[in-house]
Homo-oligomer: A and B are copies of this chain.
């Protein structure tokens, strides 16, 4: 009888069971005593544990009792290798920070090697704080791509383009070509590495550079990224040069479509939000960076109301200074409440959606990432709820946003494979990575 039962069951590679399974599916279903089954890199079923265990026989079980199980978070905007500059220069006037500290450090200390190790450190930090997909852009991005390809994290990895001599690309005349070469080198190399190109901004890239880059992106079917409307100065500068606000400038150049991702969008009008929405453009909100650099507060309530593809990002470690998406969620939820003077804005549920399904949509990966549903990639994290600051538990999303932090993440699964178990990374030598970045920092200091 028992044997019969076993034989009739569907086989799976892994079953994860937990006190709560936060699916983040369309109905935002939370399963108490839930479970999910994984075969290969994909989720094949999500249900109550009792139901799933009747139907499915898994080769391995991850018992996450006392934990909440949820989709891995998506960090929609970072410059991973800037971990090397974490805490190098804070609390300074913006121009002094950028021109006397960050740019010189980048000019003197970036190389493919330092970008590799800096990105490795970012990957370690992100996995340990529950991020399973990140969207990166920087110089010497081959270093970042090597780090991603050699680890198990999922990432969009973009070579930077700027109309100035840049680290690794001293001649700006070939900046777009260099980026295209990067795409050639990495496209199709690894299933969890998605190449992209990142134009620094409309004030550091000419209309020609922007349109040529977008052409290359269209040819290769890849994401075009840009910092957009981050500061009021930028808006004024673009208006002065082109007679239009930044979003309108991009629209006029034909750059707004579903494969464009704008970072920051702090100083955008309702009309510009509507433009982004109509064209299916993705937006990353980066509240901690915008706060620390005093850039301003993005109109996120309006963006949420518009239904725009909106995700959350930490930005690089020079302007945050960590990559903890839980803290970023907390800040996002609280900042808009006080800024727009309404405690109902940016609810915990909305903010968790930004950090998961919202980010997935903005990357054009809404069909495979962001929620725990049959058919989606098995990118899953567990949160250990048996902690004083997570006790008691009334509402999962409230805890994730207002009480939990990255250090509460216990296990991480990417593409169906365990990459962290009980906070131990399984594939990366964390001490080696920290040691290498300390050496880089010693040279910078």
**Hey, which bits of chain A sit against chain B, CB under 8 A?**
83-84, 86-88, 90-94, 97, 121, 124-125, 128-129, 288, 290-297, 317, 320-324, 327, 330-331, 333-335, 337-345, 347-348, 386, 388-389, 391-395, 398-399, 402-403, 405-408, 430-431, 433-434, 437-438, 440-442, 445
Given A292-B334, A293-B343, residue A83 in contact with residue B322 (CB < 8 A): no
Contact call B86/A403, Cβ cutoff below 8 A: yes
Among B125, B321, B399, B433, contact of A87 (Cβ-Cβ < 8 Å)? B399
Given A394-B445, A398-B87, residue A343 in contact with residue B92 (CB < 8 A): yes
Residue in chain B with minimal CB distance to A391 = B434
Name the 7 nearest CB pairs between A and B, nearest first.
Answer: A392-B441, A291-B334, A407-B407, A87-B398, A91-B347, A321-B402, A291-B338
Given A386-B434, A405-B407, residue A344 in contact with residue B93 (CB < 8 A): yes
Contact call B83/A344, Cβ cutoff below 8 A: no
Q: A interface, by DSSP: helix, strand, loop or mixed?
A: helix
Contact call A296/B341, Cβ cutoff below 8 A: yes
Residue in chain B with minimal CB distance to A335 = B291
Residue in chain B with minimal CB distance to A293 = B343
19 contacts between A and B (CB under 8 A): A83-B392, A84-B392, A86-B392, A87-B393, A87-B398, A121-B388, A128-B388, A292-B334, A292-B343, A294-B338, A296-B341, A320-B402, A321-B398, A331-B334, A391-B434, A392-B438, A392-B441, A393-B441, A394-B441
Q: Which residues of the other chain, B, contact A399 by a CB distance below 8 angstroms?
A: 87, 321
Residue in chain B with minimal CB distance to A351 = B91
Task: Tell me the bound Cα distance from A283 to B398 in angstroms.
Answer: 29
Q: Which residues of the other chain, B, contact A90 by a CB distance below 8 angstroms?
A: 347-348, 395, 398, 402
Contact call A91/B335, Cβ cutoff below 8 A: no
Among B295, B405, B442, contact of A324 (Cβ-Cβ < 8 Å)? B405
Q: Which residues of the other chain, B, contact A91 by a CB distance below 8 angstroms?
A: 333, 343-344, 347-348, 398
Q: Could you tell me the distance in whole angstroms from the C-beta of A13 to the nearest C-beta in chain B? A: 29
